[in-house]
Each structure stands twice: as C-alpha cells, then as structure tokens.
Amino acid sequence: MHEEIFDALVVGAGTAGLSAAVALAESGLRVRVVEARDRLGGRVRWWNLPRPGEATAELGAEFVHGPAVETRELLRAAGERPVEERGSTWTFVDGRLERDDDDFGGANHLLDGVASLEHDESVDAYLARFAHDPHKAEEAAMVRAFVEGFDAADPTDASVRGIAQEWHSGVDSTAARPSMGYAPLVALLQSRAEAAGVSFALEAAVTEIAWGDSGVEVHAGGVAERARCAIVTVPLGVLRHGDLRFEPALPQEKRQAIEGVAMGDAVRVVMLFREPFWTTIDGGAYRDASFFRTPKGPFGAFWTQYPQRDDTVVAWAGGPRTSALRAEKTGLGFAAARAFGALFGDEFLAVRSMEMSRSHDWLGDPYARGAYSYLLVGGGDARSELARPVAPLFFAGEACADDGQAGTVNGAIVTGRRAARQALDYLGAKRV
C-alpha cells in the first residue's frame, strides 16, 4: 500500500490525462498519474525516422481537426505551428487517378435530412434511401466511404445521428498537422505537469478502482494508490472490454453509455521511401498531392506530408476494410506499398523504392483496444453520460467529447480540462 494519500489520481497519461493533471496540479493539488504503458502520450505515438535531421512520423494521432483552439495554443507554446492541408486530392477511378479537389464536401448534404428522423438508424439504413437515384447513389457511396475511412466506423451499426452531429459541428471543416508532430506537445504537457509537482507511475496497468464517499483506491500491478478522487481517462475500448473493474460497479446509466459507443478499427502503415518517387510521375502531376483515395482495394486512402516535403506516405484503412488486412500474410508494409504503387500502374513501383515501414496495432493494443470512438445506433446522449461525474470519479477522453470533437486530440484535451474543473469543484479547491 502506498502510504501517501493524494488529492487526485489520474488514470491514463494520454493528452486527456496529462491535461487534467496539469490543471489540477497548477491549482495546488497533490496529483499522481498512473499509466499502463512505459511512456506518456496514449494514442499519440510516433516513430523516430532513422535519418539524420528528419523528424518523426505519427503512428497514432496526426491531424489537428477544425478550430481546435486548445491544441493550437499548446502547439504554439511548444514552439510549433499547425501546417494547414492545402495540397491536391486524387481519386483512383476506372484504373486511373483523377483530380478530385471537390473533396467530400459535395456529398455531405445527404445528411441534411437526419434531423427529421423519428428514430435513429444506421448509416447504411439511412443511405439506402438514395439507392435508386444514380447521382445520389454515387454520393451515398462517398458518404459511406468517408464514414469507414475518416470515422473508422462500421456503417452497419454507426449512428447516422452521431455522424451527422460530428460533420455539422465544424470539427471536420479544416485539417492541419503539427509542424513537428505531436511529440513536442506531449513533452510540453509532461514538463508542465512535473513543474507543478505531478508524480508518475509508469508500467502500472490499473485493474481495479474502488470508490466511495471516503475516496478512491486504485490497484495497479499489486500496488494500491489512494486519493480523494480520481479522473479516469482510459480509452473506451478498455472500458468496454472489462479490463478495468470498478468496485462497486458503475451506475447502470454509465454502463449503458459505455455500451452505446463503439471503438473503431483502423490500419495505418507509414512507408519510408528512398525518394519521393510520386512527385515525378506523369510530368510532376502529383508533386503537390496531399491525398490519394481508392474506393476499392485494401486501403481507402494514402496521404503525403505536403506542404511539408519528406519521403513518407501513410496508407490508411478504416472500418470493415481492416478485416482483410489483418489476414494479410505478406505483411502490412508490403501490402501497403503494392497498393500505393498500383495507383500509378505498377504494383511494385513503391515496393522497389520503400526503405522500411512501421505500423501499430491499436485494436490489438491492450491499453487502447481500437483507434477512436463512434456512436452506435440508439446511442443518443451516451457521450454526455460517459462524461458525467460519479463523484469521486470523473471521466475524460475523446469518447467523452459530446460537442463533435470525439476522436480528436482536441476533444481529449478539452474533456481532460473539464474533468479537472469538476474535480476541483468537488474538492472545494480554487481553480487557477
């Protein structure tokens, strides 16, 4: 038994947990963060590229979605800047790449009728309305592909109301990347936490949280930590899987909310090439390309780092496509390179140029159990219920973002700070 009794324990050291810990500690509380991994960052994970002078490549969170005020402020404080997406987009149609800078925006009007639905339904069921109109059927296919690829969701069980709320929130209106990746932001949160007196317990997977009027007791690796309250920021996949037990059990409403949100699956492969060969093909037509989309095939999209120039390309598949890729026997890197080369008419073009590749299995990761969350049919206000305090327990993480920011780093940061404010109020502490 750890003898010290903290004011607050934070379970999980992703951006939600770190943001909560900083806010609590800077208000004068004694805070300890308990993290299952041997590192900080959670689903922010990066690969240090093996070349002198090169930065990192993201294996987890990569983009800054929409206004993301809190994220952008932290990036500036970390000496970074958000690099806005502004390259060209290409779609592979009938065996060739076609310029498609209209992006997805032309099809999202199909969701305008969602608000008038009497009952929630799946994305697939809703889109079936447009099957008999050739033009709208094509747009419906775009919407379905975006739900699978962007939201990492299964259209057969994803709530069309949940998807519509997210898309209409403005979170998906723009996209950018941190100029040096998310590593400096994580380092900034860590340094602020340590400067405020936060202590960390790493490689300490929490298996049980006992809670009641007298406070909380968190059990991890045979060690118990005690505090007046706890902020739980573990990914939804961990909560759904039952890896973390609560004693007593959480209220029924909270358990139902956990079942009302699912964890999406995504396969992401970062390929490092000897040179950016795609920039010289077809007279340099793809020199300024940001995205390549493939309606068919193992991967739904590929993207470069443009307008920053380097030798990496990300291959991405989300939703149902991931099942076939997980059965791929030749290796994900080889499969990704073949699929990327096929866009230019030569499956082995990218294979010959690829130096190495990296990926991380977030679904198989016991401390994530998926990429990020999406609302299930009938989930309703599940995200708000997930975020609701059950004092002395408070909850944060992207799955708790009920304002359209679920699945984003900014959603995690905002909910972490919100949970910290709730905990401060509960403890009667003054906010800074």
Confidence of residue 305 (pLDDT cuts 50, 70, 90): very high
With beta carbons less than 8 A apart as the criterion, state whether 101 and 291 touch.
no
* Mean pLDDT across 228-248: 97
Report the Cα 222 to chain-centroid distance in Å.
30
In angstroms, the CA 45 to CA 195 distance is: 23
First CA to last CA across the chain, in angstroms?
31
Per-residue model confidence (pLDDT) at position 102 = 64
How many angstroms separate the CA atoms of 235 and 36, rounded?
A: 12
**For the chain, what percent of residues have pLDDT higher than 70?**
97
pLDDT value for 10: 98
**Contacting residues for 346 by C-beta, under 8 A, at least 6 apart:** none
Pairing of strands 301-303, 31-34: unpaired
Q: Which residues pair with 312 in a beta bridge?
A: 272
Residues 15/41, Cβ–Cβ less than 8 Å: yes
Task: Give pLDDT, residue 1.
Answer: 46
- Over residues 382-394, mean pLDDT: 98
Reported as a single tens digit per residue, the pLDDT across 343-359 is: 999 999 999 999 999 99
Instruction: Show the CA angle centred on residue 279, arms to residues 276 and 280, nearest 5°.
Output: 110
- Quote the pLDDT of residue 351: 96
Residue 173 has pLDDT above 90, yes or no: no
Average pLDDT, the chain: 94
Q: What is the pLDDT of residue 210?
A: 98
Q: What is the pLDDT of residue 103?
A: 58
- The one-letter amino acid at 307: P
- Which residue would you say has higher pLDDT here, 92 or 326? 92
Would you state the pLDDT for residue 104? Answer: 57
Contacts of 67 (CB under 8 A, 6+ apart): 170, 174
pLDDT digits (tens, 9 = 90+) for 181-208: 999 999 999 999 999 999 999 999 999 9
pLDDT value of position 106: 60
Q: Is the pLDDT of residue 107 over 80?
A: no
d(CA 285, CA 303): 15
- Judge whether residue 112 has pLDDT over 50: yes
pLDDT (0 to 100) of residue 162: 95
Q: Which pairing describes strands 82-84 and 175-178: parallel, antiparallel, or unpaired?
A: antiparallel
123/125 Cα distance (integer angstroms): 6
The Cβ-side half-sphere exposure at 324, using a 13 Å CA radius, reads 12
Do 235 and 37 form a contact (C-beta atoms < 8 A)?
A: no
Q: How far apart are CA 25 and CA 38, in angstroms?
A: 22
Return all residues near 262 (Cβ < 8 A) that are at least 6 apart: 153, 154, 157, 158, 236, 240, 370, 373, 374, 375, 376
